[in-house]
Amino acid sequence: MTVFGKHLTSKREDKNLTQRKVAKAVGVSQPAYQAWESGKTMPTIKNLCLLQEVLGLNGQHCLSLMVEDVTPKQEERACIECDTLYVGDIYCPSCEQPSGETLE
Ligand SMILES: [Zn+2]
């Protein structure tokens, strides 16, 4: 689940609304709405504006959560080429090969 999806779910539950009701008010299908809550997809800006009206969301706050969801996490990695340990994306800062594997 994404942080945005979690936020969306809690806001809907606060209002005691079903997924179907919110989906109908926004004009999407229930599975489409459910995908937003589960984090499979994200609403378009237009649908986010509608959600803002239906659920009384703070659009600015939602956008910042969505940005958080799409920002790659800085993970601890080990390069399989040169054994360097570092925190960052897949490119190893030492040999500059895309050989960094996460340690998890
Ligand atoms: Zn390396």
User: pLDDT tens digit string along 75-102?
Assistant: 899 999 999 999 988 899 999 999 999 8
pLDDT over 90 (residue 73): no
CA of 71 to the centre of ligand 1 (A): 23
Number of neighbouring beta carbons within 10 Å of residue 5: 21
* pLDDT in the model for residue 78: 94
Distance CA 67, CA 87 (A): 20
**Beta partners for 79?**
100
Cα dihedral value 29, 69, 102, 104, nearest 10 = -70
Q: What pTM was estimated for this model as a whole?
A: 0.71
pLDDT tens digits along 21-71: 999 999 999 999 999 999 999 999 999 999 999 999 999 999 999 998 888
* pLDDT in the model for residue 75: 85
Q: Which residues surround ligand 1, an ion (CB under 5 A)?
A: 79, 81-82, 84, 92, 94-95
Domains and CATH numbers, the chain: 3-70 (1.10.260.40), 72-104 (no CATH)
